[in-house]
Structure 1
Amino acid sequence: MRREDLNDMLWFLAVAEERSFTKAAARLGTSQSTLSHTIKQLEMRLGLRLLTRTTRSVAPTEAGERLLRSLAPHIRELEADIDALMAIRDKPSGTIRISLSDHALESLVWPKLKPVLRNYPDIRVELFSDNGFRNIVEDRFDAGVRLGESLDKDMIAVPIGPDWRLVAVASPEYFASHSVPQHPQELVEHICINQRHLRSGGLYVWEFEKDGRDLRVRVEGQLIFNSSYAEVDAALSGYGIAYLPESIVRDHIDAGRLIQVLDDWSPMFSGYYLYYPNRRQNSPAFSVIVEALRR
């Protein structure tokens, strides 16, 4: 294989993974036109159509999928070897990518990392806020943050935060014209603020528990968010009842800006864990991140 073919295949891999010439060009640090021309030249040399292009999307053809399955594992292995070589350097450096929810980001991870990263200017950290459950291996993250009850069994898990709970809240303005629910089932008669999981595409079903009895309630309302902090603002503005982490609404409850209901039905959830593949060879940079978060 010519060296040019190998380089062009790496560019094909980027387009196939991103499903976009624009995103792939940004990832590779080149122009979209140069990338498109390179892929066309590769297809001409191979005599195969590797990508199907439309005005809105890019997808591998059958031949492209076959090449992607063959090529990707070898590239990942090469990247892992390079990471291992970087690990012998005394000074922690490199990029660490972490997938996590907005609540974990704002309430736990960023407050812990903020004072530490000043001491390690060669460490680059990408914190990708996503309330869905991502496959961190497929999506090329170094680690993820999830609640303990939702961890995959084949992952190494490091506890990084205390147990916490969700609480149902709404503004005094809302309850001025609506009754206060005494049981979770009464929520179906109320206007509620929903949250959509990006990965599954479904709405979060509110989970309650009392005296060993679990109860799940599907609620309806005018608004759907994928950010807990946007829900806080909507609840403060009187748009309905929200079910949110207690830590981000406690100050509003204490100040009387929000009213908490169904307190005895709000269960505790296992705290957040940092998780990563057990076959991962940890770099000095990754070890710095783990130690900062486990404190």
Structure 2
Amino acid sequence: MITKENYNDLYAFLMVTREGSFTKAAGKLGVSQSALSHTIRGLEERLGILLLTRTTRSVSVTEAGERLRQTISPNFDQIDNELSLLTKLRDTPAGTIRINASSHAIRQILLPKLKNLSLLYPDVNVELTANSGMVDIVAERFDAGVRFGSRVADGMIAVRIGQDVNMVVVATPEYFEKNGVPQIPQELTQHQCIGFRLTTQGGIYAWEFVKDGLEIKIKIQGQWVFNESYHSVDAVRLGLGMAYIPEDMVQDDLEQGRLIKVLEDYSITFPGYHLYYPHRRQQSPALKLVIDTLRVTDDAK
């Protein structure tokens, strides 16, 4: 029988399963790795069953350990959520808000809009994690995520935080002088195109275009591939090829003539960035503050 004194041990076990590592879990808990190992061994001895299988390189959960994890995880999550909601008793918002977003969304939307929070609300901390792929924000313990469009999974709420984003195909004038200017998307297969590797799917993004309602996808080819849009911008500025990127990332380059955009009649527009977060009856004051700060009004869309 597990007594109240063992709740810390259960939480330690849960952290190991979530981090997949004694070292990382120990860091999160603020204890030594050896102390954490001793705690887990003690828990297993009291239960009389093996919960974790350890090797020199990895930690895996046994069938019994997985059953225990599934049982206690929602309860600890509920406790953590209720504790965070206690900040409503304070006069001002407080706590840490963790948001997962692409580097583009962080630079163009989140930082400019949230920069004054630290001055106006010194007890509110914002942690921004750059990731261009789809992330399970609940499993990864984020308070919110950012993505294009308002279509989100069940149980999520989406709030528009940015205007629509125009995509442009760009390259340097020197590149076009040497290689010619494509007139239709199909001619891109004859050019050096800078690829973008999708973090979630792992494949190279097929450039999407539309003309008279007809969707066109081009599997581009080239010597350079990145998984970060800003690196693609750096590469195109160096004349390494053509890139298909959000226009606001290269607006100054276009205005100064350092880059030229082509295939404008075919380029697509993505619906603006939306902040999405789990549907909860109650929100912490800090999260509500962030949502209200980022929200785009109907007039500004």
State the TM-score, normalizing by the size of structure 2.
Answer: 0.92
Aligned residue identity for 2:272: G
CA-CA distance at 1:202 after TM superposition:
2.4
Q: How does 1:145-224 map to 2 (within 5 A)?
A: 145-148=146-149, 150-224=151-225
Q: How does 1:1-295 map to 2 (within 5 A)?
A: 1-148=2-149, 150-279=151-280, 281-295=282-296
Q: For the Cα contact (< 8 Å) 2:167–2:245, is it kept in 1?
A: yes
Aligned residue identity for 1:163: D
Distance 1:173 1:4 in 2: 70
CA-CA distance at 1:153 after TM superposition:
4.9
CA-CA distance at 1:238 after TM superposition:
1.6
Change beyond 3 A, Cα 1:192–1:52: farther
Aligned residue identity for 1:147: F
Distance 1:274 1:10 in 2: 30
CA-CA distance at 1:14 after TM superposition:
0.6
Q: For the Cα contact (< 8 Å) 1:210–1:267, is it kept in 2?
A: no
Q: State the secondary structure of the residue aligned to 2:250.
A: helix
Change beyond 3 A, Cα 1:280–1:15: farther
Q: Which has the larger displacement, 105-114 or 148-157?
A: 148-157
Number of aligned pairs?
Answer: 295
Change beyond 3 A, Cα 1:57–1:180: farther
2:299 matched residue in structure 1: none
Give runs of ≥4 in structure 1 deviating > 4 Å: none
Distance 1:153 1:163 in 2: 23
Change beyond 3 A, Cα 1:72–1:173: same
Distance 2:40 2:294 in 1: 42
Q: Which has the larger displacement, 32-41 or 108-117?
A: 32-41
Distance 2:171 2:151 in 1: 28
Distance 2:288 2:150 in 1: 24
Q: For the Cα contact (< 8 Å) 2:157–2:277, is it kept in 1?
A: yes
CA-CA distance at 1:3 after TM superposition:
3.4
Distance 1:243 1:161 in 2: 20
Gaps of 5+ in 1: none
Q: State the secondary structure of the residue aligned to 1:131.
A: coil
Distance 2:179 2:90 in 1: 62
Distance 1:33 1:288 in 2: 41
Q: Which has the larger displacement, 159-168 or 26-35?
A: 26-35
CA-CA distance at 1:150 after TM superposition:
4.4
Aligned residue identity for 2:91: D
Per-residue Cα deviation, 1:24-79 (whole angstroms, up to 9, x for no partner): 12211222222222222222222222122233322212111111111101111111
Percent identity between matched residues is 52
Distance 2:219 2:248 in 1: 23
CA-CA distance at 1:235 after TM superposition:
0.8
Q: Which has the larger displacement, 168-177 or 256-265?
A: 168-177
Gaps of 5+ in 2: 297-301
Q: State the secondary structure of the residue aligned to 2:178.
A: coil
State the TM-score, normalizing by the size of structure 1.
Answer: 0.94
